[in-house]
Copies of this chain bind each other. A is one copy, B any other.
Amino acid sequence: MIRITRRERFSAAHRLAKEEWSQEKNFDVFGKCSNPNWHGHNYILYVTVEGEVDEETGYVIDLSLLGKIVKEHVIKYVDHKNLNLDVPFFKGVMTSAENIAIKFWEQLEEPVNATGGKLCSIKIQETENNYVEYFGK
């Protein structure tokens, strides 16, 4: 069993706030991340797939295939977008790094596992000082 990881990047706007709360309460809880006019990040995404090495190719999964899956099911929805307003799978979801990782897992689990590999972890780096990792449960 080997793990292989592909890195992808996307730039997006977002905001942390609950609509039903006042701006003051949102600021108390989320600080500057609640700015009503949005802010944004260069997010870095690491998708890790686990599997056995194919004897013929030496691959767990063809990285260009993995790249296509990630672009098709995640990147095209979020790159140069507003995570809160533009992305169907973030409707009604707080766009914290934690939830981004969980929703990306849900987007990628089926198409990645259909290749014969097994989705192993999703890592989202939001700034150089923080990242989250999700392992599917």
Contact = CB atoms under 8 A, between A and B. Distances in A.
The dominant DSSP class at the A interface is mixed
Interface string A24-39: 0000011111010111
Interface string A73-97: 0000001111001100000011111
B137 A1 contact: yes
Interface residues of A, number: 60
B135 A80 contact: no
Interface in A27-77: 29-33, 35, 37-42, 53, 56-60, 63-64
A53 B130 contact: no
B40 A11 contact: yes
Contacts of A4: 97-98, 130-133
Contact of A130 (B9, B30, B63): B63
Contact of A102 (B13, B33, B53): B53
A38 B13 contact: yes
A68 B37 CA distance: 25
A14 interface: yes
A40 B79 CA distance: 10
